[in-house]
Structure 1
Amino acid sequence: MSETIRLARTEDAERVREVIHEAYALIRELNLHWPAAHADVALVRDNIAENDCYVLEIDGRIAATITLSRKEEVRHWTDLPFLKWFAVHPDYQGKGIGGRLLAYVEREVVLGRLGAPAVTLATAEKHPWLLPMYERRGYERFIAFDPGNGDGTMHLLRKILNPAKFGEVHSVSGDRRESR
């Protein structure tokens, strides 16, 4: 079994949409208004073109995806990199594939290439297992907010990847911990 992690290309959009659509079935059942859960191929193509969309392939087939945003979704709270659209196709779930993709992006991209001391992502409180899963992976809740769209409380989580550098950059007075 060969495993490859790479940036997605526009020609990957249909398979990436399939992975996200299948993985996000519960998100739709919970009636969460996450763009990825309802994305068509055009929106996935836009995501690939406008952000750094990574895929993990197994034997040449895309099994998982995660996006490092280049947009300003969380800039009013933090200047740390933001991950979104994380999905593992159900055929590959429970095998550590998502964890390997997430760890790669944290280590090689966020810490290595960008030199950022921490990374952020967001999830909904009403999702039954995402918050505990991210917390087991070292993420901590640092901002809770209600987007006012029916999703309820959302949590912005952060994982500190380089504690020494994080302390230099995000002192108590410079860290925007308040909830909005």
Structure 2
Amino acid sequence: MSEQFRLAELHDAERLQVLIFEAYATIRELELHWPAANVNLEQIQENITQNECYVLEADGTIVATITLSKGDDVKHITDLPFIKWFAVDTAEQGKGYGGRLLDWVESRIIRDKLGASAVTLGTAEKHPWLLPMYERRGYKSIYSFDPGNGDGVGHLLRKIVNLELFEQAHSGGREEAIKQH
């Protein structure tokens, strides 16, 4: 079996729309207001062109995707890189594809390419397994909030990917990961 990590291209948009829509079924069932849950083809195309949308292919088929946001999703809260739209093909879940893609983005892109000390993402307590899954992967909640839209408590999670750099950036009591409101 061959695996390839790469940036998504516009010709991948239809496949990504199906993959993300199917993977986000639980999000829709929980009535969480996440943009990716009901994403259309145009939004997928915009995501590919405006962000860094990565895919993992297994034997030439896209089996997982994740996006490094280049927009203002959480710029009002954190200066750290923010990942979103993480999804694994429902027929391929449980095979480690999602974990391998997330590991690759954390190390090769966030740490090595961007030179960032940590990465952030958001999730909701209302989802039955996402928060514990990210916590097992080393993410910690650094900010809790209620968006007031019925989603309940949400969390901005952070994972340190370069401890030395993180400690340097935060020596002397400076906390640059979360901006003061």
> Which of the five TM-score ranges fits, normalised by the shorter chain?
over 0.9
Distance in 2 (CA, whole Å) between partners of 1:29 and 1:145 is 21
1:174 is matched with which residue? 175
Distance in 1 (CA, whole Å) between partners of 2:111 and 2:177 is 21
Task: Give the alignment's TM-score, normalised by structure 1.
Answer: 0.96
**1:122-141 matched pairs, under 5 angstroms:** 122-141=122-141
Root mean square deviation, CA, Å: 1.4
1:3 is matched with which residue? 3
Distance in 1 (CA, whole Å) between partners of 2:80 and 2:47 is 19
1:82 is matched with which residue? 82
1:96 is matched with which residue? 96
**1:86-165 matched pairs, under 5 angstroms:** 86-165=86-165
After the TM superposition, list the runs of 4 or more consecutive aligned residues in structure 1 that deviate by more than 3 angstroms: 175-180
1:12 is matched with which residue? 12
Distance in 1 (CA, whole Å) between partners of 2:40 and 2:102 is 24
Secondary structure, counterpart of 1:56 in structure 2: strand
Distance in 2 (CA, whole Å) between partners of 1:176 and 1:59 is 38
8 Å Cα contact 1:145/1:179 also seen in 2: no
1:152 aligned partner, one-letter code: G
2:24 is matched with which residue? 24
Secondary structure, counterpart of 1:151 in structure 2: coil
Q: How far did residue 175 of structure 1 move?
A: 3.8
Q: How far did residue 148 of structure 1 move?
A: 1.7
Distance in 1 (CA, whole Å) between partners of 2:174 and 2:4 is 41
1:48 is matched with which residue? 48
Give the total of aligned pairs. Answer: 180
Distance in 2 (CA, whole Å) between partners of 1:154 and 1:94 is 25
8 Å Cα contact 1:82/1:121 also seen in 2: yes
Secondary structure, counterpart of 1:75 in structure 2: coil
Q: How far did residue 106 of structure 1 move?
A: 0.3
Q: Deviations over 1:83-134 (max 9, x none)?
A: 0000001111001100000000000000000000000000011000000000
Distance in 2 (CA, whole Å) between partners of 1:134 and 1:103 is 12
1:83 aligned partner, one-letter code: I
- Percent identity between matched residues is 59
Q: How far did residue 164 of structure 1 move?
A: 1.3
Q: How far did residue 178 of structure 1 move?
A: 8.0
Distance in 2 (CA, whole Å) between partners of 1:35 and 1:8 is 19
Distance in 2 (CA, whole Å) between partners of 1:177 and 1:105 is 22
